[in-house]
Structure formats: structure tokens, C-alpha cells
Amino acid sequence: MRKIILLLCWLPAVCLAGTARIEAVDVAQHADHTRVTLRLSAAAEHEIFTLKNPNRIVLDIASARLDTSLPQGEGVINDFRSGKHGHGVRIVFDLNTRGVPRSFFMPKNGSDPARLVVDVYGEGPTTAARAPVTPTPIPVAVPTQAAKPRDIVVAVDAGHGGIDPGAHGPDGLQEKTVTLAIAKKLAALIDATPGMRAVLTRSDDTYLKLRERTEIARADHADLFISIHANASRDRSARGGAVFALSQHGASSEAARWLANRENDSDKLGGVSLSDKGSMLASVLLDLSQTATISASLKVAHDVLGQMGDIEPLHSRRVDQAAFVVLKSPDIPSILVETAFITNRKQERELASPRYQEKMAVAILNGVIGYFEDQPPPGTLLAAHHGRIGGQQYVITSGDTLSSIADRFDVSLDSLRAVNGISGSVIRAGQILTIPVGQSG
């Protein structure tokens, strides 16, 4: 039947002028959702809705025809079906669980074709064959008589991505590449820290709109949102890190004021490719926490900035703030970390270095740990341990190695490094290590 429908689409009586061609349909599994991308020859209106018994998502695209085969299902999607719908196309996603679709259109931009993107977030268990692959084990709920302390959830957002490369360095290093590398390292350190869990807003070179980033954090009930960026300036000698939090009143630096004014004049971001650093930075900050969460944001920003100052000179020695247009009322303490100036040739080389990326990730983690030790969220494992992520202390003696200490206390090497802010393997006699809570034997 599908072949007959496709053949009919070539008849003038059926295919009206202005019909958009669906030239390709791709499906990819991400950390917490399945993404379906439809490449179109032209813009087309669409409608999307869900059905139950069985669980399905229906996508109707007006004035369109399907010029390609549909892929096999992946993740929460078992299979795809298509058919004609008026002068357009209906594509049905057969699901193996309840699903929540989110769709957005990305207009043609240079050599990039127009695309309709549908992200499907599962609301229930999936079959083992379709289970999404994630960088960390998926927690399994076990019924208990009393609720167990939960992990602190930190959403780590790698700035830019996909069609938005962000800023670039003199030698061509792209900001989106750096931010993803640091975000992955930070997420791994967080996951290795007892009582903490990371959520990556993107784990590959994917473009995400501002609201998608914070929606992912809210969907995972994040306790903190960290957006990672690399700074940029026309002054190639500018260097150093900075940390931003949102303010309702004024701005604390000329650079922050420029970003605020730039964003206040902008009402088009979405699927448009952003060519410079300022637009994306401002758009991310637009959705950062306001009012009740600002004080928490300032506190964690101060702690992170202090740790960053231990590894490199800071561009700004105080937390920067800016006044932005309110898009919605956020509920998560949020900060934006400017790691270094990618437009500085020396710092570009540092940003490309895995060692520097690890040092930056460790500094951010230590700042986050310091913040949560002072005010652990209620109901978390950290709160149950009275604000201490670390447990007993151990004084290093001659001949000790990190590996031997980890083996002695039956803890992972990654968690031992993370809790103590160690990025490599160099330790010294007399140094005091903290053994992670809940992992010693």
C-alpha cells in the first residue's frame, strides 16, 4: 500500500504545487530520549498527538509527500508506519511504552536542509531490546518499606552543538567541541562521587534549543544546572575563567550588561544557527533561575569560581550577574561557567588538552561539592550524612599509590580522585585524603 501511495503522489491531481518532499528520515537514541529527524525540501506545517492502547505517536505533515523509506525503530519506538493524510503524510510511531513527543522545525540554513525534529521521551519501562544506552548504569527501582535517600542530581549542559558551533579559536577549535568534552568529564566525576548523579543535556554533537536544555534538567528533577562555555573576545590577549549567575537588577560588569542588552533585543533563536558566542550565552542565561533561586545560584557560583582560581588566573574575580528578560519561572539554581578564552591562542591549546579539560572538570566539581556540603538538599544521601560527602580521613605514607589506597578501602579510583580533587595520580607523603562515604569496606 505504501508503494501505491508514493506513486500516486506523482500525479498532478494529487500532488499540489508547493508540496514539501520528505527526503530522509533518521532515528537516533540519545541519553534520555529518541530523536527522529525528517529532512524536508521546504517548510511544512505539522501536527503531532498521542494515542493509547496501543501507545502511538501520530505525526501529520501537511502538503507533503514521503520520498524515502522509513527506518527501523529504536529506543522507545518499536516501528514506523506511514500513509496519506489529505494532501499530506501521516507517520505513526509505534511505541513500546508511553511517550511524550516534543517537536520543533529547523529552517534551511546555508547548506543545511530544512528539518523537522521530533524527540520522544519515554514515560515507562521499555523492552530490553529497545532500552536506551547511557554512559552510566540505569537505576532500578526496588520496593522498600522506607524511602531511601536519593542522589543529588546535577544537570550538565554542554553549550552550543550541532548547527551552532559557538565561538572558535585562531587555529579553528570550535567551542561546541570543548564544552562537550569538559561536560562529559564533569559528568563522569559526578557519577563517581557517592550520593551524586549527573544528567547530560547532550552527549553528542546535537543542537538543542534553550528550553530543551532546562526541560531535560527539570524532567530529571535536577538540584543544580551547570552550563559550560568557552569565552570569546576581539581582544586576543583576553584570558581566564568567569562564572555567571542571573540577576533581576542591573549587571555587575560591562560585558554582562552588553550580553543582557543584546539578548533583550533578540526574539529569534530557536532553529536559527547562531554565529557568535554572545547570542547563545545570553539565550542560556535567559532561562536561568530567578527570584528564590538567585541566592543559591550566587553561592554555588562563588564556590566554583574559587576553585577555578586555583588552576588559572581568573578573567573576573567575582561572580558576574546580568538582568535578562524573563521567559518563565525557573526552579533550579543555575550557573554558567566560562572556562577560558578560546580566542586566545594559548588558551585555545589548553582548552583542546584533555589534561586541562580534566582540571577544569575537577575544579567545577569541587565547587559543587563545597556548595552542597553547606546546604544538602533534603532527602538526599548527602543530607543523611550531615553534609559530608567524604568519610574517614587517611594520611598518605611513603610507598602509597592512589590505586593501592582505593583497593585498601574498597572504593573506586574515580570517586577517590573526585572527592579529593585529584586529576592525575600524583600524591605525596603526609597528604590527607578523604575516603568517599558509603563505599569503604
- Which span out of 91-95, 128-132, 394-398 was modeled with the highest average pLDDT? 91-95
Retrieve residue 368's grid coordinates.
559543587
Can you tell me the distance from the alpha carbon of 257 to that of 244, in angstroms, rounded to the nearest whole number? 12
Asked which of 2-11, 208-217, 229-238, 401-410 is least confident by mean pLDDT, the reply is: 2-11
Mean pLDDT of all residues belonging to the chain:
74
Of the pLDDT bands very low, low, confident and very high (cuts 50, 70, 90), residue 29 is: confident
Q: Is the peptide bond before 330 cis (omega within 30 degrees of 0)?
A: no
Q: Which residues lie closer than 8 Å to 357 by C-beta, 6 or more apart?
A: 178, 181, 182, 185, 351
Q: Which of 152, 159, 308 is nearest to 228 (CA)?
A: 159
Instruction: Find all residues with CB under 8 Å of 215, minimum gap 6, and list them.
Output: 102
Whether 127 has a pLDDT exceeding 90, the answer reads: no
- Quick one: 112 exposed, middle or buried, by C-beta within 10 A (0-12, 13-18, 19+)? middle
Listed range (25-29, 105-109, 246-250) with the worst mean pLDDT: 246-250
Judged against a pLDDT cut of 90, whether residue 269 lies above it is answered with no
As a whole number of angstroms, the distance between CA 112 and CA 110 comes to 5
Contact 151, 158 (CB under 8 A): no
Helix (H, G, I), strand (E, B) or coil at 177: helix
pTM: 0.52
DSSP 182: H
SS3 category, 75: coil
Percent of the chain exceeding pLDDT 70 equals: 72
**Average pLDDT of span 230-246:** 87
Contact criterion met (CB below 8 Å) for 84 and 5: yes
User: Is-contact 333 256, C-beta < 8 A?
Assistant: no
Q: Report how far apart the first and last C-alpha atoms of the chain are (Å, whole number).
A: 63
The pLDDT of residue 16:
37
Q: How confident is the model at residue 134 (pLDDT cuts 50, 70, 90)?
A: very low
- Cα–Cα–Cα angle for 134, 139, 145, rounded to 5 degrees: 170
Number of other CB atoms surrounding residue 12 within 10 Å: 7
pLDDT exceeding 90 applies to what percent of the chain?
24
Contact 41, 21 (CB under 8 A): yes
**Residue 18 pLDDT level (bands cut at 50, 70, 90):** low
